[in-house]
Amino acid sequence: MAGSSAFEWLCTALEETTTLERLEARGTVRIALKEAGLEPRTVAPSELRVVVQKILPRELRNRGVPNEAALCDRMVAGLQVLERQPGSQAADTPDAIFRRLGGEL
């Protein structure tokens, strides 16, 4: 099952900047998303940014990733850039639909 562009970006970034293998990186992010009640295929960059700030540091620490706080800060910065790109929000989430109905974009 493919994930949202934000999910894919984060997994790739973790794989490239840590010793985690592809499946370990994806599994770690999936566990953090599950704890937050979010789905990999629909998670928006703004939602994922909160998960990276609040949940992911603990998951990385549990897996022996050094400097997890600094790593997560870099990931948050990358997700903020991703948020500003057109079409980066998950368009079909209930939150997105209600935002559009309320006049927000």
What is the reported pLDDT for 55? 97
pLDDT for residue 88: 53
User: What pLDDT score was predicted for residue 102?
Assistant: 72
Put simply, whether the predicted model's pTM sits higher than 0.85 gets the answer no
Q: Backbone phi, then psi, for 92, in 5-degree steps?
A: -105, 10
CA separation for the pair 56, 28 (Å, rounded): 8
Question: How would you write the pLDDT of the chain (105 residues) with one tens digit per residue?
Answer: 577 899 999 999 999 999 999 999 999 999 999 999 999 999 999 999 999 999 999 999 999 999 999 999 999 999 998 888 766 554 455 666 666 677 655
Q: For residue 66, what are the contacts with CB-CB under 8 A and spacing of at least 6?
A: none
The CB density around residue 88, as the number of other CB atoms within 10 Å, is 18
